[in-house]
Amino acid sequence: MHVHALTLELHLPGCVSLKEKRSRLKPLLAALHRTYNVSAAEIDHQDAHRSAVIACVVVSNSNKHGNRLLSGIPAWIERRFPDLQIVDDHISPW
């Protein structure tokens, strides 16, 4: 069993409230789960309006599969959610 986590630091330009931030992150987290079958949640910067850190975690029987799956997520987010900017991303095996 292999567990991999992708951590993404996001910038949300023009976001003026926590309510607006939630309304922009909620569809992203749902789409990640639906499209990639990963668990996804906001893990840091919950009180900041314009930044967020989210994590996506996958359990796989193959180390290669977990890395390949998670490595495609940042480009997918940039294409599908152009209003979010990825500041940093990091994949770590557990």
- pLDDT in the model for residue 43: 96
CATH class of 2-93: alpha beta
Question: Percent helix, strand and coil across the chain, each rounded to 5?
Answer: 40, 35, 25
Residue 40 has a CB neighbour count (10 Å cut-off) of 21
- pLDDT in the model for residue 19: 95
Residue 77 confidence (pLDDT) above 80: yes
Q: Is residue 86 very low, low, confident or very high in pLDDT (cuts 50, 70, 90)?
A: very high
pLDDT digits (tens, 9 = 90+) for 14-72: 999 999 999 999 999 999 999 999 999 999 999 999 999 999 999 999 889 999 999 99
